[in-house]
Amino acid sequence: MRISGGLARGIPLAVPKGDAVRPATDGMRQAAFSSLAAVVPGARFLDLFAGSGAYGLEALSRGAAGGVFVEKNAKAAACLRQNLAAVCKSLRRDATGVEVFQSDALTGPLGDTLPDLVFIDPPYEIIPEVAPVLFARLGEWLAAKPGVLVVFEMPGEIELAPAGWTLVKRLGKGVRQPTVNFFRASPAAP
């Protein structure tokens, strides 16, 4: 698995041994970032269930200003920190403006600055349980910045219709195939 675009393109990403992490595929990330091309430069991101950090690191490689990674698993968080160092070295920048929190995405810190993009890539089997909680939490937290785009990776057989959110775009199809879903907060009723 590698960074698929931007200035750090080709940098390999470490992942922990075992099944603690199911990294986003290079192809799925490339498709998502093709759709996000105009949004990423200068953006701040929040990467929940970050795992190896593939989504957030891809954003940094493609010009994001910085962001926050949230990953609960200690081995995955260690790989994420290693990957962050490698990507920052390739970009010839330090990690200023980037934070890694080893905590639960449902209850832990989300950072002090509201992001422009939120990446969510949880273990597929927990999506039905965590998605309503995540969208409710994000809806409250991001209320002051309604244009934030939430990029949620999930298998094709799952369809989400979270209250207060609108599905803007879906990339990928097919049962048991990864898809990337783009959500924005629904406009408030007058």
Tell me, what's the pLDDT at 21? 57
Residue 86 lies in a domain: yes
Whether the CB-CB separation of 152 and 160 falls below 8 Å is answered with: yes
Residue 3 lies in a domain: no
- Domain range enclosing 120: 26-185
Tell me, what's the pLDDT at 22? 60
CATH number of 131's domain:
3.40.50.150
pLDDT in tens, 52-100: 999 999 999 999 999 999 999 999 999 999 999 999 999 999 999 999 9
Number of domains in the chain: 1
Residue 173 lies in a domain: yes
Q: How confident is the model at residue 190 (pLDDT cuts 50, 70, 90)?
A: low
Residue 74 lies in a domain: yes
Residue 17 lies in a domain: no
Whether the CB-CB separation of 83 and 61 falls below 8 Å is answered with: no
CB atoms within 10 A of CB 166: 12
Residue 160 lies in a domain: yes
Residue 104 lies in a domain: yes
Q: Is 45 helix (H, G, I), strand (E, B) or coil?
A: strand
Amino acid at 13: L
Residue 176 lies in a domain: yes
Torsion 137-139-144-149 (CA) sign = positive
